Chain A
Amino acid sequence: MKSNLFTVIFAIVMGVVCSLVLTAVAEWITPRREANEKAERYRNVLEIFNIAVAEGAANQEIIKTFEEKVTIVGDDPANPDYYLYGRLIAIPAQGPGLWGPIEGLIGLARDGTTITAVSFYKQEETPGLGGEIAGKDFTDRFVNKKLFDTRGQPALKLVRPGRAKGDYEVDAISGATMTSDKVQALITAAAEKFKSKEAE
């Protein structure tokens, strides 16, 4: 049996060696990882604005296209209030889902209320049910609907599947009531936040 002192020294040395290895790896990888994350954020915005980006486009290419065409509005570039492409608008929408955070974007036309596109690029909802929010079948239902009513209040509602009519109603996903409620909440929250920021 080895002495207690040796055990303690061994544990300390192990800890130091492991942390040195991890620090070195983090130093080496972090710039690349951050570039990847930024490019992905930008790619999502470009897709909402329907600006073509090649499938395997390099990070620099995506970042360059984004910086040429899109303006970030807000104090924190990593968490902006909204994005502008000409007079088209993209609003970040995020909030809790059923199993994990949902993040998405809502694209608005020049009038600031007609929806051009919606995407939910990050979600962990139940595959096959709530997970369908990421699919085109669902996101296409938002196109040409209106986010705000004539008085500028958030008005878009998810309604029971098959019941949607008019400019303010979108069919929810059947079998995914909980996820649909969360999506409703985060869209309304995003709309309210956008209105308050736009007024500034």
Chain B
Amino acid sequence: MAQAPVPIGGPTAKSTFLAGLWANNPIFCQILGICSALAVTTRLENSLVMGVALIFVIAMSNLAVSILRHLIPRRIRMIVEVAIIATFVIVFDQFLKGYYWEMSKQLGPYVGLIITNCIVMGRAEAYALHNKASLSVVDGIANGLGYAVILAIIGASRELIGTGKLLGYEVLSGNWYVPNHFFIYPPGAFIALGLLIWLIRAIKPQEDDSSQSGAGS
């Protein structure tokens, strides 16, 4: 079985965690998971639930793939990964439908579409197949958090600018603030996400920009 290049001394829990959250953040470094980041961020609450969903799915699928990593036949490993991911996504989707009906309606198909979210499959392929279970869970949580934090920031800014509210509570009073509905429509999402990625890349030192190409759903 092929081994991924491992940093000197191997990854530690701390380095794994920081990589997912900041240094190699799935959204602003790898530009993965953009579709859902644009689609569900009309309100902060939706963004938070979507973030929790992704943390759950990546952590669980990383755990399962990592435990099975010496058993999974190489030729069918991607199908196995997708089966594992799909199972956890459906579990979460069903859970929302049973216990959080309103939210499930608002998120619409996007919870189910986590199956096709490049971040999840990417972590299974790039990390969980080559690392032990405990570290893989840390990696899953870190990448999920990295995604969730960005979604929360976009969700909060879109809800605040677009409706003057946060989590449904009036924050900017209606007397002087005119909500800019543009931000809760799809084009607002592109602008909010674009500005955020620009801002973070301006702050964050760039190591090697040429290797960070690629886009994902």
Contact = CB atoms under 8 A, between A and B. Distances in A.
B214 interface: no
Interface string A38-78: 00100000000000000000000000000000000000000
Interface residues of B, number: 22
Contact of B94 (A10, A14, A18, A29): A29
Interface in B145-180: none
B91 A21 contact: yes
> B interface, by DSSP: helix, strand, loop or mixed?
helix
Contact of B185 (A21, A28, A128): A128
Given A21-B91, A33-B97, A40-B101, A10 B73 contact: yes
A7 B77 CA distance: 10
Interface of A: 1-2, 6-7, 10-11, 14-15, 18, 21-22, 25-26, 28-29, 32-33, 36, 40, 127-128
A29 B94 CA distance: 7
A33 B94 contact: yes
B199 to A, nearest CB: 27
Interface string B104-144: 00000000000000000000000000000000000000000
Given A10-B76, A25-B94, 17 more contacts: A1-B74, A7-B73, A7-B75, A7-B76, A10-B72, A10-B80, A14-B83, A14-B84, A15-B83, A18-B87, A21-B87, A22-B90, A29-B94, A29-B98, A33-B94, A33-B98, A36-B97
Given A2-B73, A127-B185, A32 B99 contact: yes
Interface in B54-82: 71-76, 79-80
A127 B186 contact: yes
Interface in B179-203: 185-186
A18 B75 contact: no
Given A18-B87, A21-B87, A11 B76 contact: yes
A10 B71 contact: yes
Nearest to B182: A128
Identify the interface centre among A11, A36, A127, A128: most chain B CB within 10 Å of its CB.
A36
Contacts, number: 52
Interface of B: 71-76, 79-80, 83-84, 86-87, 90-91, 94-95, 97-99, 101, 185-186
Nearest to B105: A40
Contacts of A127: 185-186
Nearest to B94: A29
Contacts of B101: 33, 36, 40
27 contacts: A1-B74, A2-B73, A7-B75, A7-B76, A10-B71, A10-B73, A14-B83, A18-B83, A18-B84, A18-B86, A18-B87, A21-B87, A21-B91, A22-B87, A22-B90, A22-B91, A25-B91, A29-B98, A32-B98, A32-B99, A33-B94, A33-B98, A33-B101, A36-B97, A36-B101, A40-B101, A128-B185
Identify the interface centre among A1, A6, A14: most chain B CB within 10 Å of its CB.
A14
A32 B87 CA distance: 20
A156 to B, nearest CB: 29
A22 B94 CA distance: 9
A57 to B, nearest CB: 12
Given A1-B74, A40-B101, A128-B185, A29 B95 contact: yes
A56 to B, nearest CB: 9
Nearest to B86: A18
A11 to B, nearest CB: 6
A36 B185 contact: no
A159 B90 CA distance: 44
Nearest to B186: A127
A15 B82 CA distance: 11
A150 to B, nearest CB: 41
A25 B96 CA distance: 12
- Which 3 pairs, one residue from A and one from B, show the smallest C-beta to C-beta distance? A32-B98, A29-B98, A36-B101
